[in-house]
Amino acid sequence: MTWYIDFEGYQFDNRYVVKEIAILNKETLECYNYFVKNPAYIPHPPNTQTIQSQFKRHNLRWKFGDHHFLDAISDIILKVKRDAVYCKGPEKAKCLRTWLPHIEEMTWIATSFKKLYNCTAEVCDIKHGLNCARRKVHELHYIDVVLK
């Protein structure tokens, strides 16, 4: 089987704080979406323009979330097993490789997510905007399967 993965979050100090992560099965279209709590060791977001800009982009509050990141990624690992896992972007692939060493970057997709609007109906139930990890895994599927 094959899975697509994407996440939204905050990036600072050369690391990500994931706030939403989603996976989509290429064959069955099973989709799992996780909203992640802020790390306990960082109770408040850094007060920077970059963090404020990232919040405006994905509209996920720092303290919002249902799962701890390690719980969400553990569940993802159980679901994807040793299946192929694809993501878009070298930084995201590098970030996720710690937990998913077999992840591969979708280098054949050069189109930016900013220009992919084929799956707008797939936004998550939170309705926090089009920069939604759930919508983006559906976009990856669409461009990989339908447009290939």
pLDDT single digits (tens) 11-57: 988 889 999 999 999 999 999 999 999 999 999 988 899 999 999 88
pLDDT at position 72 is 98
Q: How confident is the model at residue 148, as a pLDDT?
A: 64
* CA atoms within 13 A of residue 141's CA, in its CB half-sphere: 23
Long-range pairs for 86-89: beta carbons < 8 A, 24 or more residues apart: 86/2, 86/3, 86/4, 86/5, 86/140, 86/144, 87/4, 87/5, 87/6, 87/140, 88/6, 88/113, 88/136, 88/140
The fold of 2-146 is Nucleotidyltransferase; domain 5 (3.30.420)
Range 100-124 average pLDDT: 88
Which of 59-63, 69-73, 99-103, 114-118 has the lowest average pLDDT? 114-118
Q: For the chain, what are the domain ranges?
A: 2-146
CA trace torsion 92, 140, 23, 50 (10° rounding): 40
